[in-house]
A and B are shown apart, each in its own frame.
Chain A
Amino acid sequence: MLRFAAEEEIMKVATNKNIASGLLLAGVTCAGFLAPLYAADLSIESWRTDDQAIWDEKILPAFKAAYPDINVSFAPSKPTEYDASLNAKLEGGTAGDLITCRPFDRALKLYEQGHLADIKGMSGLENFSDVAKAAWSTDNGDATFCVPMAAVIHGFMYNKDAFAELGLEVPKTEEEFYSVLDKIKEDGSYIPMAMGTKDQWEAATMGYSNIGPAYWNGEEGRLGLIDGSASFSDEGFLKAFEQMAKWKDYLGDGYQAQTYTDSQNLFTLGRAAIYPTGSWEITGFQQNSDFELGAFAPPKASADSKCYISDHTDIGIGMNANAKENDAAMKFLEWAASAEFADLLTNASPGFFSLSTHEINVENPLAKEFFEMRAECDPTIRLTYQILSRGEPVLSNHMWVLNANVINGTMTPAEAAAEAQENIDTWHKKP
C-alpha cells in the first residue's frame, strides 16, 4: 500500500514535471538502500543536566567518530527527580540502555533488583583500581555493574585577590586555618567563609566529610567504623564535629537561612573569602567570578601529621539489564574505560576526574590544583557512603541533619557523635 503510494508519487513527479527530477528522486531512494542497513540507538540516563553541552559537543561526537553505526543521545533529568524517575522507567521498561550510576547502595540496589547488568568480565575494567570499582560492586566483589567514571575531590576554594589584599597565606594546618579565618573576620570587609545550613547537605558534605579525614586518619578511621573497631565517639570523629561547632563563628549573618545557591553567589560575588567545597564547582565558579580563584587542601590536624583528601567516587556508567541494544551498549561501556574517554571527560568537565589508571594531563589550572592534591595527600572517600548507610535513618542523610544542628548550635558535638554511633549500633553487628 505504502509502496504503491511511493511509486505513484514518483510517477507523478516524472510525468507532471520533468523526467530528470523523477530520476533524481529514484536515485536518492536507491542510495538510501546502500547506506548502513542498521544503526543502533542508545540513550544515556543521567542526573547531570549541567553536562548536556559537554556530551553533545565533545564526548558523543568522539564516540560517533569511532563507532559510526551507533547513535548515542544524552538524556539527563533534573537531579532531584533522577532516582525516582529512573526507578519508575526501569520498572516500566522505558529506561535508556545506558544508565549513569550513583555510587554504592543506590546503584547496588538497582543491580539487586535486576536492573543493572553484571559487567565484571568486560575488557577495560582492568584500567580501574579496586577502590574505584568498589563503589559499583557487590560487597563481596563478585559482581561489578558500572564502569567507574568520575571522582570529585573535596577541599577549599579561596578568593586570591582577597587573600592578597589582606596579606594572607594559604593555611596548611588547623591552627593556620583558624588564624586566617580570624584575620578575615577582624578585618571585616569579607565574610570569612561562605556556607549556610539551610539546605543541610553542605554541613555534612563540604564540612564534616571535607575536613574530617585529617582527624580520623582517612581510610583507617573509615574502615574502622565499618569493621566495628572504631566508634563515632572516638576522638577523631568527635573532633571533626567540634570543628563544625567552631565554624559557626565564621559564617555570614543569618547562615541558618542561607541556601546552597546563596553561598555560591556570596563567594562568586566576592563577598566571602573562603568557600568549603569540592572540585565539582570549578566550571560554574570560573564562569561566574571576576577575581582569581585558588584552591587548598583540607588543613592537617597539626604540622607533623598527614594530609588527607576526600577523593570521592561519584559517577559511574552501567548497562540496563534489559537493554534492547546489548552489543552497542557494551561497546560504549568499553569505550568509557578507554584512555580517550578518560582524557575527554577530565578535560571537558573540569573538576570531574577520571577514575581510571590512564595517565591524564589536566589542562584547567584550577582543576589541576585539586588534581595535584592527590600527590600530596592520602585519599579516602566520603565517610558514610560505603555500607554504613544501611540503618534507619540512612546515616548519610542523617549526617546532614546532625552537622547542621551542630553548626546551628541546637546540638553539641558529643550529642551528634553519640547519635551517629547509635545509628550504626542499631543494625551493624560488630565482629
Chain B
Amino acid sequence: MRTVKKQPQPRRWHILVFILPAFLIYTVFAIYPIVESLRLSLYQSIPSAQGTGTTAEFAGLANYMRLWGEPYWAEQFWNALKNNFLLFAMHMLIQNPIALALAALVSIPTLKGAATYRTIFFLPTLLSVVIVGFIWQLILSPLWGITPDFMKWLGIREWFKPWLGLESTALVTVTLISIWQYVGIPLMLFYAGLLNIPEETIEAARIDGLNGWWIFWKVKLPLILPALGVVAILTYIGNFTASFDIIYTLQGGLAGPDYSTDVMGTFLFRTFFGFQSQLGDTYMGATVASVLFFIILVGVAIYLFGVQRRLQRYDF
C-alpha cells in the first residue's frame, strides 16, 4: 500500500490532460452505445397504434422476470452459465498453469532460443478463429484420418471418439482448442511480470543457496502474484465475452450437440442478433447482456476489493 502522499499542487491540469483523451473517446464510442443498448432491457416491443411497425414501451423489470421465470429462457440461461463456469475452471486449471510454466522456463536468462520459443507459443494467438476452427475440425475429424491414424500408430485407435460431436466431450474439446490458441496471452503477462523482478532479488536468493526450482516457488511466484491476479480476472472476463468466437465457429450458433457447448456469449448472440429462423430480439438481448454485465462486474469487484488488496501486500 502506498503511504507517501503527494504534496498538493495548486493547479493540476496535467491530470486532466492525461485522462481526458481516453475518457472522451471511450465515453462516446463505447459507453454511450452500450448504455443506449442496455437501456432497452427495461422496455418491451408492442405493435404500434397505426397498425404497422412497433414501438418500445417501458416495462420495468418484466424482461428480467421472463429471463428467470419462463422455462425456455431460464433453462438456456442456467445451462449457459454452468458451461461458462466449467470453461473458466478449465482455463484456470489447465491454461494458466501451462502458461506460467512456459513463461517461467522461457524467462530463464541463460536459456538459448528463448525469443524463438516465445514467438512459437504466441503464433496460434495471432490466427483468425476461422482457420483455427477449420484446422482443428480437420485434425479431429473421424473422416479424414489425421487423429485416427495417429492413434492407430500409437495402438490406441479404439479410444478415438468423434469428440466435437458428443454431448459428453464437446465442451472439453472446444476448451482445449481455445487453450491451444490463447495460451500465449497469459504467457505474455506472466513473462512481463517475471521480467519486472529485479535481478538483485534473485541474486540474493541464489547467494542464500536456493536453486532454480525453489527460487521460482519462494521468490518469483510471490512477486508475480499481481500478474496472476490480472490473468485470473482477464480469464474470467474473457470466458464470458471472448469465448463466443471459438464456440460460434466450431459448434455453430446453436452450440450443439443439444446446446452442450452453449455459453453466455452464444446465448446472447442468438437472442440479440437472432440465428437462422430465430429473429433477433433487442429487448431480451439487452436483458441477457445486462445480466452478463452484472455477473462480470461482481467478479471484477471481488477481485478489485478482495483479492487485489491482499496481493498488494506482497509488493516490495
Contacts and interface: CB of A to CB of B under 8 A. Distances in A.
Contacts of A253: 142-143
Contacts, number: 116
Contacts of A199: 252, 256
Nearest to A109: B279
A393 B165 contact: no
B268 to A, nearest CB: 12
A410 B258 CA distance: 9
Contacts of B164: 198, 257
A105 B277 contact: yes
Contacts of A109: 279
19 contacts: A80-B253, A84-B274, A105-B277, A109-B279, A197-B256, A197-B257, A201-B276, A252-B142, A257-B162, A257-B165, A258-B162, A262-B143, A392-B72, A392-B73, A395-B277, A400-B256, A401-B259, A408-B165, A408-B257
Interface of A: 80, 83-84, 87, 105-106, 109, 111-114, 196-201, 252-259, 262, 266, 384-385, 389, 392-397, 400-401, 404-405, 408, 410
A255 B164 CA distance: 11
Contacts of B241: none
B64 interface: no
B155 interface: no
Contacts of A255: 142, 162, 165
Contacts of B258: 401, 404-405, 410
Q: Which 3 A-B pairs have the closest CB atoms?
A: A254-B142, A256-B165, A257-B162
Interface of B: 47, 52-54, 70, 72-73, 137, 140-144, 160-167, 252-254, 256-259, 273-280
A253 B160 CA distance: 11
A199 B253 CA distance: 9
Nearest to B252: A199
Main secondary structure of the interface of B (DSSP, over half): loop
Contact of A258 (B70, B143, B252, B254): B143
Most interface-central of B143, B254, B256, B274 (chain A CB within 10 A): B143
A105 B137 CA distance: 33
A87 B282 CA distance: 11
B109 to A, nearest CB: 45
Nearest to B144: A262
Nearest to A85: B273
A196 B144 CA distance: 14
A401 B54 contact: no
A193 B199 CA distance: 65
Given A112-B53, A114-B52, A255-B162, A397 B276 contact: yes
A200 B257 contact: yes
Contact of A114 (B53, B140, B144, B273): B53
Contact of A84 (B72, B143, B273): B273
Contact of B256 (A114, A262, A393, A401): A401
Most interface-central of B53, B140, B162, B253 (chain A CB within 10 A): B162
Given A105-B277, A394-B278, A408-B257, A257 B54 contact: no
A405 B259 CA distance: 11
